[in-house]
């Protein structure tokens, strides 16, 4: 009698605690600022800028459009990672209350903090072109000290570097929004992603903006289509990750060689290899953000 009760009780506990195979999708959203709808000037990108307060709202509205699209497509969990500058741009009171928010830039995995293999889909919102792009609003990689970043011989921007980490975990990047240059660039690393162009770069400063209403509708539709089509893959892992980082100065590379197994391969360029993408990612981030030779 007692055994029968135990078996029945155990079956009951299992039925409540084991997640069903039909569980809804878990979605990760990384939100940068330069590629946000309506963002076009230097006075919008940081707290010292006169237009920054408005811009935080614009950033939240693009994020909310992506969150709506994700839930439209059956997401049951959405994690937003503030991925610009201080990583303290998005105000929790402005965000769709169904999402959780990671804030502050003291993160080992930066724009991809909190991602792991339990997620089903990744959305990149407000992304921009890489350092050196001749057209592309606010084109840069990381912090502005980077001239070029290569991973296993391929030049990548923030989107490409983040997509490489996503592949490591086997989570597909299913949407990217930003200007036309950024979207085309990120799709080189994530060809299946929905590309949502919210503005067209005329050059590195001037831009033709879609209306905010149009842009947010496009982001919501792109997120919905991307999350609906999302299929997890087996993790894509290279045997080694060789990184070459060319700086726009000669001081950072000088300091960088203090780290073990980082070599100077030109006066402005360092190289190193790591066995895993998360290790490579963390070190790249330290090398462009946390070195300060001044």
Active site residues: 140
> DSSP state, 99?
E
Dihedral sign, CA of 203, 204, 206, 207?
positive
Q: Are 189 and 177 in contact (CB under 8 A)?
A: no
Judged by beta carbon, residue 143 or residue 152, the one nearer Zn ion is: 143
Minimum distance of Zn ion from residue 182's CB (angstroms): 9
**CB of 47: closest distance to Zn ion in angstroms?**
16
What is the spatial distance between Cα 78 and Cα 103, in angstroms, rounded to a whole number?
15
Q: Which residue's C-beta sits nearest to Zn ion?
A: 32
Q: Partners of 195 in the beta sheet? A: 176
| Cβ 142 to Zn ion shortest distance, Å | 7
Nearer to Zn ion (CB atom), residue 142 or residue 172: 142
Tell me whether residue 25 or residue 142 sits nearer to Zn ion (CB atom): 142
How far apart (Å, rounded) are the C-alpha atoms in residues 26 and 100?
12
C-beta of 273: minimal distance to Zn ion in Å?
Answer: 25
Residues that bind Zn ion (CB under 5 A): 32, 158
* CA–CA gap between residue 259 and residue 257 (Å, rounded): 5
Question: Least Å distance between CB 159 and Zn ion?
Answer: 9
Asked if 54 contacts 78 with a C-beta cutoff of 8 angstroms, the reply is no
Q: Hey, which bits of 85-188 come out as E strands? A: 99-102, 121-127, 146-151, 154-155, 173-179
DSSP category for residue 39 = -
Residue 129 or 219: which CB sits closer to Zn ion? Answer: 129
Of 269, 266, 119, 124, whose CA–CA distance to 189 is shortest? 124
Q: What share of the chain is helix, strand, coil (3-state, %, to 5)?
A: 35, 25, 40
Length, in residues, of the chain: 294
> Of the two residues 71 and 110, which places its CB atom closer to Zn ion in the complex?
110
| Pair 172, 179: CB distance under 8 Å | no
In the complex, what is the shortest distance from the CB of residue 207 to Zn ion, in angstroms, rounded to a whole number?
A: 16
Nearest CB to Zn ion, comparing residues 32 and 82: 32
């Amino acid at each position: 009698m007692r055994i029968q009760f135990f078996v029945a009780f155990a079956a009951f506990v299992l039925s409540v605690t084991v997640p069903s195979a039909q569980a809804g999708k878990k979605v990760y959203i990384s939100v940068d600022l330069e590629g946000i709808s309506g963002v076009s000037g230097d006075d919008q990108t940081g707290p010292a800028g006169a237009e920054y307060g408005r811009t935080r709202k614009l950033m939240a509205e693009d994020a909310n459009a992506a969150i709506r699209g994700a839930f439209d497509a059956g997401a049951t969990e959405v994690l937003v990672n503030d991925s610009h500058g201080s990583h303290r741009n998005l105000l929790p009171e402005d965000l769709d209350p169904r999402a959780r928010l990671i804030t502050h830039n003291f993160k080992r995995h930066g724009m991809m903090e909190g991602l792991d293999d339990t997620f089903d889909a990744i959305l990149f919102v407000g992304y921009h072109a890489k350092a050196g792009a001749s057209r592309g609003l606010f084109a840069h990689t990381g912090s502005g000290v980077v001239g070029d970043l290569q991973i296993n011989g391929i030049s990548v921007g923030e989107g490409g570097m983040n997509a490489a980490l996503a592949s490591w975990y086997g989570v597909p990047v299913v949407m990217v929004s930003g200007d036309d240059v950024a979207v085309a660039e990120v799709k080189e690393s994530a060809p299946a992603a929905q590309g949502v162009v919210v503005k067209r770069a005329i050059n590195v400063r001037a831009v033709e903006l879609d209306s905010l209403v149009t842009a947010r509708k496009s982001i919501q539709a792109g997120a919905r289509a991307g999350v609906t089509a999302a299929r997890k893959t087996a993790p894509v892992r290279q045997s080694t990750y060789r990184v070459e980082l060319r700086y726009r100065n000669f001081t950072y590379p000088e300091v960088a060689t203090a780290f073990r197994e980082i070599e100077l391969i030109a006066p402005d360029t360092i190289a190193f290899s790591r066995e895993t993408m998360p290790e490579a990612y963390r070190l790249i981030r330290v090398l462009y953000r946390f070195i300060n030779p001044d």
